[in-house]
Amino acid sequence: MSKKSRKLIRATPAADAGPAVPVAVPVPDEPERTFYFLPDAEPLPVDEKDLHAEMKLWRHGRATRTIGQVIQDSYVMLFSVVMIGAMATSVVLRAQGSLVGCDTESCVSGRLLLPTATLFACWALALGLARLFGPVLASAAEGSWLMDAPISRRRLLRGRLVPPLALSFGIAGLATGLVGALSGLTWLQVLAWAAAAAAGSAALVAFAASEQPRERVVVTKALQAVFGAAALGVLLVVVSVAAGWLPGSVVSEAGGAAWALAGVAAAALVALVVLLRLAVSRLEQIRRARLVSGGSLVSGMQGAMFALDFGLIRDILVERRMAEKGHVRPTRGAGLGLMALVWRDVERLKRNPSAFLGLAMSLLVPYAADALRMSQLNPLISGLALVAGLVPFLGSLRVLTRTGGLARSFPFKTAQLRTASMAVPAVLALLWGLAATPAFIGIASTGADRSVTNGLGVALITALAGLFGAVRWVTAKKVDYQTPMMATASGALPPGLIFNLFRGLDMVLLVTGPLILQLPMYWSLGIAVIVFVGLRGSFNMDDLRAEQEAAQRDLAAAKQAKAAPTKIPRPGR
Amino acid sequence: MARKTPVLKVTNLKKAFGPVVIVDGFNLEVAPGEAVALTGRNGAGKSTVLRCLVGADRPDDGTVEVNGVPVSETNPQIRRDVATVIDDLDFFPDLSVVEHLDLLARAHGIPDADDAVDEVLQEVQLVPQSGQLPGTLSSGQRRRLALATAFIRPRKLLILDEPEQRLDTEGVEWLAARLVAERARGLAIVMASHEPMLVERVATRIVRLGDRAEVLADE
């Protein structure tokens, strides 16, 4: 026993020291509690089918409208779909009619190669999206509540394979079929291309699903790169044949290719069945984290989609990619003030070389458009392609526009910050314009026929239009639901929501509009100057309001001083 | 003794969100070297007051001036003088910890940016994370980075909203010592906090707010 304990014992009164005096010690009232424990019995086996049925029942219970009511409410949308469908069909039939006389090398190569490029692009896209989302996914709630239970993941999740497979099959088939139809292929040939694209995409998604439980992405990534490169290569061949750099004989007969594609479709269907069985058998080992990440991504993107905020969708994807990357080799900056911001953007170019691939692909568009006899619309089409190519280079502008906290940290005016963030993309746009100049002068015998100066001018204006479109797209503000709403057939909508659909497109259309309408070039230049002044935030409403308030305060102070009786100091005696 | 010219002067500040009045007639003057702690229960309007002070929210009425200049979020003079750490911890997703500090130091024209960055990184104990992207930092590390961005740049007024949030005990100790040193160098500080130790050590004045940011006590 320690000394301290002994001391304590001695300090307490001994039991026989005298008669015990009863002391009333307050005892806290313990509330009576009852506890429930599970009965000592083995839990019954869970039927995943029943679980699914119950979840379906809950969801139905939450529904507030019937399908009939939804269709009734969205009649405007349905009407629009029917109208657009009719227009698309008419365009396809007209294209088929006009392409009957297509006998030049560039025209024939375009007919054959554009659907092939679309097919490869669909395959690459299917793999990319499958890798991004899962393809098998579960919501965060399902991850928390269901995955803990002793249930068979294979039985619970196998139904989840159907939507990605169906989507990839349908979208790839439709897209390739539509491009084939627009290119003037016969209906049988269209069917062969569409079937190959659809079955191939579904098989590739099934392959990604079979790799998901193993958490392997190397082969998926490699295949995606191969198909992406193939799409790019095919587009290059279209341009090269049109420009006369390659003989038209490199392109074989469309009929023969159709038979080959039918074979590809059959092989892909067999692969789909085999890979699907493999994917289902591996579902049991899938990790919860791998399932839920795709689900969270979908729910985040759904939220952004409801606000038609495509920039936010991109933000979510960028955040996710960066979180996966986690770590970079830090580089020190250079320069002071605004130069430091510009230099950091230069450093970003080295860090993100894949963005150049998109820019390079966008450079193909003006050449392809010229080769396909779309010279009149070339500035608009190429400008839009450049918007997509330049967006990845406008990361700092995007963050500084969207996040007030960061912008507040920099000691510059909004216009200065924006101009500095546009500097590097502007140089890239200029280079793009120079590289695209031959396309605007005219490479194909059927394309544009402009002078060198004129072609250079059009190319540079198109580059400016693409830059401004990209800047407009990334600087889009969040939709403000506090503003007065517009009444529409789909309910009340904030006006900003509708404008989100046209962000970027509006700038390209404004700047290239005069070129399309064959007005003198200085019209486009004049509009470009006005657009630039607006986009760099020279007319920042907050600044203007602050200046107005300051002026009002000065005026009020001056009025007050005038109204106050003037005191004349008495001369000292 | 003559009172120093205030760095921050808030007069009759009013702010409402729809029909709900959050701040109604708030006044405050903060002199250089003074640290004012805003305290009060949740929903008293502390954060709204701070957001109006930095220009993140526009007041419905009243004025906020820093060194005689009306506060506007976009005014470069205000951006130069006021360092803030309020609830929105925003970072570039593709820049590492060290690159954020480097960029900010250079943007503010710090002559020896590299040295300054190294010193601040060590102080906030983020040296091992210097190459990490913000998305992978823990919430406490993100808070340290946010505080570092306020300390890497010149400032005359520091506005902090619950800066102790998500910091560990050692971190709160460091923050208290740092803010005391800032105050001693003549910096004006306005912070909202629920951490008694931080308030006690740092604040020269404690302003207790009631409903609608009514000043219940200024001691």
Tens digits of residue pLDDT in A220-246? 999 999 999 998 888 888 777 766 677
Residue at A270 is within a domain: yes
Q: Find chain A residues with C-beta within 8 A of B112's C-beta.
A: none
pLDDT tens readout for residues A138-165: 877 777 777 777 777 888 888 888 999 9
| pLDDT at residue B72 in the model | 79
Q: Which residues pair with B161 in a beta bridge?
A: B192
Q: Which residues pair with B8 in a beta bridge?
A: B30, B66
Of residues A539 and B200, which shows the higher confidence score?
Answer: B200
Among B97, B107, B111, beta carbon nearest to A411: B107
Among B63, B79, B131, beta carbon nearest to A328: B131
By CA distance, what is B98's nearest residue in A? Answer: A330
Write down the pTM of the prediction: 0.75
By CA distance, what is B135's nearest residue in A? Answer: A323
Of residues A403 and A3, which shows the higher confidence score?
Answer: A403
* Tokens of residue A175, six digits: 């897209």
Mean pLDDT of B39-64: 88
Q: Is the separation of the CB atoms in B142 and B85 below 8 Å?
A: no
pLDDT at A50 over 90: no
Residue at B110 is within a domain: no
Angle at A57 between CA A52 and CA A59, to 5 degrees: 95
Contact B94 A348 (CB under 8 A): yes
Number of helices (H) and strands (E) in chain A: give both, helices first: 24, 2
Q: How many CB atoms lie within 10 A of CB A498?
A: 13
Residue at B214 is within a domain: yes
Angle at B200 between CA B197 and CA B202, to 5 degrees: 100
pLDDT tens readout for residues B147-156: 999 999 999 9
| pLDDT at residue A53 in the model | 80
Residue at A13 is within a domain: no
Residue A480 shares a structural domain with residue A538: yes
pLDDT at A42 over 60: yes
Of residues A537 and B121, which shows the higher confidence score?
Answer: B121
Taking the C-alpha atoms of residue A169 and residue A306, their distance in angstroms, rounded to an integer, is 25
Mean pLDDT of B21-49: 90
Of residues A84 and A196, which shows the higher confidence score?
Answer: A196
CB proximity under 8 Å: B 35-74 to A:
54-56, 58, 63, 70, 72-74
Q: Find chain B residues with C-beta within 8 A of A406's C-beta.
A: 90-92
Spell out the long-range contacts of A183-190 with Cβ–Cβ below 8 A and sequence spacing 24 or more: A183/A95, A183/A99, A183/A110, A183/A111, A183/A112, A183/A114, A183/A115, A184/A95, A184/A96, A184/A98, A184/A99, A184/A100, A184/A102, A184/A111, A185/A111, A185/A115, A185/A254, A185/A258, A188/A258, A189/A254, A189/A255, A189/A257, A189/A258, A190/A115
**Backbone angles phi and psi of A481, in degrees to 5:** -85, 0
Q: CB distance from B170 to chain A under 8 Å? A: no
Q: Is the separation of the CB atoms in B93 and B135 below 8 Å?
A: yes
**Window from A388-397, A410-419, B84-93, B163-172 with minimum mean pLDDT:** B84-93
| pLDDT at residue A269 in the model | 92
Residue at A185 is within a domain: yes
Contact B136 A404 (CB under 8 A): no
**Full DSSP string of A434-468:** HHHHHHHH-SSTTS----HHHHHHHHHHHHHHHHH
Q: Mean pLDDT score of chain A, rounded to an integer?
A: 80
Shortest CA gap B31–chain A (Å): 22
Among B93, B107, B111, beta carbon nearest to A341: B107
Number of domains in chain A: 2
pLDDT band at residue A524 using 50, 70 and 90 as cut-offs: very high
Angle at A231 between CA A228 and CA A234, to 5 degrees: 150
Residue A368 shares a structural domain with residue A508: yes
Q: Is A568 left (phi over 0), alpha (psi -120 to 50) or beta?
A: beta
**Backbone angles phi and psi of B189, in degrees to 5:** -130, 135
Strand, helix or coil for residue A14: coil
The dihedral through the CA atoms of B171, B174, B180, B182 has a sign that is negative
| pLDDT at residue A14 in the model | 45
Q: At A35, which amino acid appears?
A: F
**Full DSSP string of A62-97:** H--S-HHHHHHHTHHHHHHHHHHHHHHHHHHHHHHH
**B196: CATH:** 3.40.50.300
pLDDT at A345 over 90: yes
Write the CA distances from A546 to A281, A293, A540, B200, integer angstroms: 65, 44, 10, 37
Q: Is the separation of the CB atoms in A282 and A210 below 8 Å?
A: yes
Residue A287 shares a structural domain with residue A340: no
Taking the C-alpha atoms of residue A254 and residue B194, their distance in angstroms, rounded to an integer, is 75
pLDDT band at residue A4 using 50, 70 and 90 as cut-offs: very low
Mean pLDDT of A3-20: 47
Q: Mean pLDDT score of chain B, rounded to an integer?
A: 88
Residue A280 shares a structural domain with residue A414: no
Mean pLDDT of A175-180: 88
Strand, helix or coil for residue B35: strand
| pLDDT at residue A554 in the model | 66
Percent of chain B whose predicted confidence (pLDDT) is above 90: 53
Q: Find chain A residues with C-beta within 8 A of B90's C-beta.
A: 399, 403-406
Range of the domain at A149: 103-306
* Tokens of residue A21, six digits: 């005096």
Of residues A512 and B72, which shows the higher confidence score?
Answer: A512
pLDDT at A320 over 70: yes
| pLDDT at residue A10 in the model | 47
**Backbone angles phi and psi of B218, in degrees to 5:** -135, 100
| pLDDT at residue B101 in the model | 93
Residue A255 shares a structural domain with residue A130: yes
Q: Find chain A residues with C-beta within 8 A of B102's C-beta.
A: 332-333
* Tokens of residue A122, six digits: 């669909």
Q: Find chain B residues with C-beta within 8 A of A331's C-beta.
A: 99
| pLDDT at residue A98 in the model | 57
Residue at B54 is within a domain: yes
Chain A and chain B share a number of CB contacts under 8 A equal to 134
Contact A542 B70 (CB under 8 A): no
Of residues A523 and A94, which shows the higher confidence score?
Answer: A523
Residue at A66 is within a domain: no
pLDDT at A479 over 60: yes
Contact B70 A553 (CB under 8 A): yes
- Rg of chain A (C-alpha set): 33
Shortest CA gap B128–chain A (Å): 11
Residue A291 shares a structural domain with residue A392: no
Q: CB distance from B114 to chain A under 8 Å? A: yes
Q: CB distance from B106 to chain A under 8 Å? A: yes
Mutation to test the B interface, candidates A409, A539, A547, most B Cβ within 10 Å: A409
Residue at A385 is within a domain: yes
Among A329, A404, A543, beta carbon nearest to B131: A329
Exposure pattern of A258-282 as b/e (b: 16+ CB <10 Å)? beebbebbeebeebbeebbeebbeb
Contact A410 B104 (CB under 8 A): yes
Residue A391 shares a structural domain with residue A287: no
pLDDT band at residue A491 using 50, 70 and 90 as cut-offs: low
pLDDT band at residue A428 using 50, 70 and 90 as cut-offs: very high
pLDDT band at residue A11 using 50, 70 and 90 as cut-offs: very low
| pLDDT at residue A323 in the model | 83
Helical segments of A186-331, H only: 187-211, 218-243, 254-282, 288-306, 310-325
pLDDT at A391 over 90: yes
- In this prediction the ipTM stands at 0.84
| pLDDT at residue A12 in the model | 45
Residue at B121 is within a domain: no
Closest CA to B206 of B33, B46, B36, B34: B36
| pLDDT at residue A424 in the model | 95
Taking the C-alpha atoms of residue A44 and residue A150, their distance in angstroms, rounded to an integer, is 11
Contact B70 A411 (CB under 8 A): no
Residues in chain B: 219
Residue A112 shares a structural domain with residue A171: yes
By CA distance, what is B110's nearest residue in A? Answer: A336
Q: Find chain A residues with C-beta within 8 A of B65's C-beta.
A: none
| pLDDT at residue A9 in the model | 45
Mean pLDDT of A405-420: 88
Q: Which residues pair with B192 in a beta bridge?
A: B38, B161
pLDDT tens readout for residues A526-540: 999 999 988 887 556
Shortest CA gap B217–chain A (Å): 30
Return the DSSP state at A327: B
Residue A245 shares a structural domain with residue A351: no
Of residues B217 and A546, which shows the higher confidence score?
Answer: B217
| pLDDT at residue A573 in the model | 45
Mean pLDDT of A80-104: 65
Q: At B82, which amino acid appears?
A: V
Q: Are strands B8-17 and B61-66 parallel, antiparallel or unpaired?
A: antiparallel
| pLDDT at residue A86 in the model | 72
Mutation to test the A interface, candidates B94, B100, B143, most A Cβ within 10 Å: B94
The dihedral through the CA atoms of A369, A373, A377, A378 has a sign that is positive
| Helix or strand (DSSP H, E) at A25 | none
Cis ω on the peptide bond leading into residue A135 (within 30° of 0)? yes
pLDDT tens readout for residues A431-446: 999 999 988 888 766 5
Range of the domain at B43: 8-91+155-218
**Window from A78-87, A412-421, B191-200 with minimum mean pLDDT:** A78-87
Angle at A392 between CA A391 and CA A394, to 5 degrees: 65
Mean pLDDT of A166-192: 87
Residue A202 shares a structural domain with residue A146: yes
By CA distance, what is B152's nearest residue in A? Answer: A409
pLDDT at A572 over 70: no
Residue A177 shares a structural domain with residue A235: yes
Closest CA to A259 of A188, A202, A199: A188
Contact A329 B108 (CB under 8 A): no
Shortest CA gap B142–chain A (Å): 14
**Window from A15-24, A328-337, B35-44 with minimum mean pLDDT:** A15-24
Closest CA to A373 of A451, A432, A443, A453: A443
pLDDT at B86 over 50: yes
Contact A406 B92 (CB under 8 A): yes
Q: Are strands B157-161 and B188-192 parallel, antiparallel or unpaired?
A: parallel
Q: CB distance from B128 to chain A under 8 Å? A: no
Q: Is A235 left (phi over 0), alpha (psi -120 to 50) or beta?
A: alpha
Among A322, A336, A403, beta carbon nearest to B88: A403
Q: Find chain B residues with C-beta within 8 A of A408's C-beta.
A: 54-56, 73, 79, 82, 84
| pLDDT at residue A7 in the model | 46
Number of domains in chain B: 1
Contact B107 A328 (CB under 8 A): no
